[in-house]
């Protein structure tokens, strides 16, 4: 059975219930309607397809809009048994003397005025060669033999301009990600 036949059948069944023993259709009051069987018309599949609303033929509608689904959601593997390493995320902005002492510019201590996002990931027991890094606009994925970090970023970044530095002494990966912002009153 195709979808239209099932929908038509469901509409017939919800409008009235057929008594299996007598062949009568009961009304909501409980008394059988003896003339309902003569009023029923059986339609062919082509007739029902023509009578179906256009929305039903258009296909399923998506549950979420594209902007509601985070980039990298397919990368967030909850079944991965590797532990999550310790990490810090800090914002960095370029401040000049006139911003500090004269307060002439529009810089504020808020993250809206920051130009860079710095992520430091501690990976004890790992080397640079055993670490795999994937940076996207809204997601950072760090994989190593013993560790895995899937991190969604609070602001979009310019992933093509990202820089990474491995500190072998502290076994720390440092990512410097330029924040991608639209020009507004604070960011010009």
pLDDT tens figures, 159-170: 999 999 999 999
Whether this model's pTM surpasses 0.85: no
Which pLDDT belongs to residue 165? 95
Distance CA 106, CA 132 (A): 38
Q: pLDDT-derived band of residue 22, with 50, 70 and 90 as boundaries? A: very low
Q: pLDDT-derived band of residue 38, with 50, 70 and 90 as boundaries? A: very low
Tokens in use for 166?
Answer: 């491995």
Distance CA 32, CA 38 (A): 13
Query: Mean pLDDT throughout 99-128?
Result: 82
Query: Mean pLDDT throughout 121-132?
Result: 93
> What separation in angstroms does the CA of 128 have from each of 21, 106, 159?
78, 39, 20
Which pLDDT belongs to residue 183? 63
Mean pLDDT score of the chain, rounded to an integer?
75
Evaluate if residue 132 carries a pLDDT over 90. Answer: yes
Evaluate if residue 129 carries a pLDDT over 80. Answer: yes
Contact yes or no for 182/108 (Cβ under 8 A): no
Residue 63 CA neighbour count, 13 Å, CB half: 1
Domain 73-178 coded CATH 3.40.50.720: no
- Looking at the chain, the domain(s) classified CATH 2.60.40.790 span 73-178
Contact yes or no for 124/81 (Cβ under 8 A): no
């Amino acid at each position: 059975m195709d979808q239209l036949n099932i929908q038509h059948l469901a509409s017939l069944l919800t409008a009235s219930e057929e008594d299996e023993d007598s062949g009568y259709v009961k009304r909501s009051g409980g008394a059988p309607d003896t003339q309902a069987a003569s009023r029923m018309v059986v339609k062919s599949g082509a007739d029902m397809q023509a009578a179906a609303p256009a929305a039903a033929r258009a296909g399923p509608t998506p549950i979420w809009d594209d902007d509601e689904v985070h980039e990298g959601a397919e990368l967030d593997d909850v079944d991965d048994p590797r532990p999550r390493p310790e990490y810090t995320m800090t914002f960095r902005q370029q401040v000049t003397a006139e911003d500090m002492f004269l307060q002439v510019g529009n810089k504020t201590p808020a993250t809206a005025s920051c130009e860079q996002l710095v992520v430091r990931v501690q990976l004890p027991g790992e080397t640079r060669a055993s670490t795999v890094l994937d940076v996207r606009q809204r997601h950072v994925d760090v994989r190593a033999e013993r560790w895995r970090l899937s991190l969604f970023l609070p602001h979009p970044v310019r992933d093509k301009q990202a820089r990474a530095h491995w500190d072998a002494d502290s076994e720390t990966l440092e990512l410097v990600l330029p924040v991608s912002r639209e020009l507004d009153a604070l960011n010009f």
